[in-house]
Amino acid sequence: MPFTIDQADYQFIKITRRDRILTLSLNRPEVLNAANGLLHEELSRVFNDAADDDLSDVIILTGEGKAFSAGGDIEWMQSLVDDPSLQEGPVQREAKRIVKSILDCEKPIIARLNGDAVGLGATLALFCDIVIAVDTARIGDPHVRVGYVAGDGGAMIWPQLIGFVRAKEYLLLGDLIDAPDAAAMGLINYAVPADELDAKVNKFADRLANGARMAIKWTKVSINIPLKQLLSEAIDTSMALEAMSNVTEDHKEAVRAFAEKRKPVFTGR
């Protein structure tokens, strides 16, 4: 029997199909698709399941509602502060699997940014193969704004796309970039009006699905070789530093400030 990815295995990722195109939609629209513990765990295995799915050749990753993903859920962040062993154990393992499984998936993955992609959301999008955004979307990795190291893959992928100097500007300051500017600098492929987003995404998906699929897959494998080498060299250190930042006073203050709807006051500790 052919293997097919099963919706019953996922609570916060919606799975749909069109011909041999598989769409995975982050499905917590009430919190702008911010990741909680369960969604994070589901993300750590969904790309492996999608890679093994015998009924698809192309994957589209998107979000339900107004955003692609707002990053990490504040209640989940608080739980990691309260119990650092979660960050140092399962969360690190899952985070590593997320980026590794995206790179390992031989099928082309198109990120359809229906809205903002922030933090983990940006990392998910930028590790995909083609990124097409609505022109009102913003993309950025503001880990530092909550006293957190950009250790989930952002520190690796941003310099590969826009160079070290520009990547350092955005990762060290945590500023968000409007989608048209992100496309102009090569961070993403395209920024299009909302009424053109689906047509643009579907055009790419159909071309890939109707192309020489084995050649496309193996070309992706070849392109990803240096990215996978970089990942294997850097991810453990990056995630260890992220875990260390989880227990700093600045991160704890940022989480409190977010919950209290005020600006954090950092002390450098």
Number of domains in the chain: 1
Q: Is residue 266 part of a domain?
A: no
Task: Read off the CATH number of the domain in which 143 is found.
Answer: 3.90.226.10
Bridge partner residues of 108 (DSSP): none
The percent of residues above 70 in pLDDT, for the chain, comes to 100
CB 99 within 8 A of CB 228: no
Q: Is residue 201 part of a domain?
A: no
Q: Is residue 107 part of a domain?
A: yes
Q: Is residue 2 part of a domain?
A: no
Confidence check: pLDDT of 259 > 90: no
Give the pLDDT band (50/70/90) at residue 1: confident
Q: Is residue 94 part of a domain?
A: yes
Confidence check: pLDDT of 88 > 90: no
- Do the bridges between strand 177-178 and strand 138-140 make them parallel or antiparallel, or are there none, so unpaired? antiparallel
CA distances from 16 to 5, 78, 100 (A): 10, 32, 23
pLDDT recorded at residue 214 = 97
Model pLDDT for residues 211-229, shown as the tens digit of each residue: 999 999 999 999 999 999 9
CA distances from 263 to 75, 146, 172, 174, 246 (A): 17, 10, 18, 14, 18
Give the pLDDT band (50/70/90) at residue 86: confident
Q: Is residue 50 part of a domain?
A: yes
Model pLDDT for residues 162-208, shown as the tens digit of each residue: 999 999 999 999 999 999 999 999 999 999 999 999 999 999 999 99
CB 126 within 8 A of CB 157: yes
Q: Is residue 1 part of a domain?
A: no
Q: Is residue 220 part of a domain?
A: yes
**Residue 88's domain spans which residues?**
7-196+208-259
DSSP state of 114: S
DSSP state of 61: E
CB 53 within 8 A of CB 7: no
Alpha-carbon distance 126 to 121, whole Å? 9
